[in-house]
Every structure is written in C-alpha cells, then in structure tokens.
Amino acid sequence: QVQLVESGGGLVQPGGSLRVSCAASGRIWTIYAMGWYRQAPGKQRELVATATTSGSTNYADSVKGRFTISRDNAKNTVYLQMNSLQSEDTAVYYCNAIIRQFGYSTRTDTYWGQGTQVTVSS
C-alpha cells in the first residue's frame, strides 16, 4: 500500500554535488518522519539524515556541513542535497519513512525504498 521511490543518484567527481529525491505514495495518512541511510560495500547501513514533519533534522557527523535534508510535505517527498562529495560518500542511498496509513489509528510502519547508487570518483 505504501511505496518509496528514490531518484537522482549517479556518478560525480570529488567535490561535486548531487541531489537525491524520495517520493512516498499510497494510502498515506501521516508521514511522521523521512530520512536517508546509506550502505557502502562491506559496511553496515548507517544513518545519513532524518527530518520530521515538524521540521527537526538530524545528521550523521560525517556529513554535517555538507549535506542538507529537506521535505515537501504536500508532495510526500524528501530531498538530500549533497555537496563537497568525497569518495567515502560512495554508497547506495536508501530512503526511509515512518508512516501511518488511512484506516489505521493505532499503528505506524517503517518503509524503505530500493536505493539509489551514488558514486564519487575521478
């Protein structure tokens, strides 16, 4: 009933920028939070940034000052603007959302997108 679709990944040179997007669709009543995680080869999935509907944001120390998360609540979409990209940022970036669906007043569910590849290389 709910699907998250990421877009905007690709290849970029060190020091460059990319903007990835994630759109949620389905029988959505409320999205309490949306965020981004990433997973590099041989490493655990890690938090990149999160944003609540009220506007609170949180960033991993490794991306503070370089990445910016933002939301368009009317479009059920979250963005991640990535600047000053480094080779260490190379990973599959996954969208995450905590959502309450229509017809459910007592539960929320966590959803994940399929991921979008970001490669930083010269």
Contact in structure between 41 and 103 (CB atoms under 8 Å): no
- Given a cut of 90, whether residue 55 has pLDDT beyond it is no
- CA proximity to 48, closest of 85, 80, 15: 80
Q: How far apart are CA 82 and CA 100, in angstroms?
A: 29
Q: How far apart are CA 20 and CA 4, in angstroms?
A: 13
DSSP conformational letter for 88: G
- pLDDT tens figures, 18-39: 999 999 999 998 999 999 999 9
Q: How much is the mean pLDDT over the chain? A: 95
The residues with which 28 forms a beta bridge, in sequence order, are: 101
**Per the structure block, which two tokens stand in for 85?**
């990209």
3-state secondary structure of 121: coil
- CA proximity to 19, closest of 77, 79, 65, 72: 79
- Tell me whether strands 77-82 and 91-101 are parallel, antiparallel or unpaired: unpaired
Contact in structure between 19 and 78 (CB atoms under 8 Å): no
The pLDDT score that the predictor gives to residue 39 is 98
The pLDDT score that the predictor gives to residue 104 is 79
Residue 77 confidence class, pLDDT cut points 50, 70, 90? very high
Could you give the percent of the chain with pLDDT greater than 90?
A: 89
The pLDDT score that the predictor gives to residue 109 is 94
- pLDDT tens figures, 79-117: 999 999 999 999 999 999 999 988 878 889 999 999 999
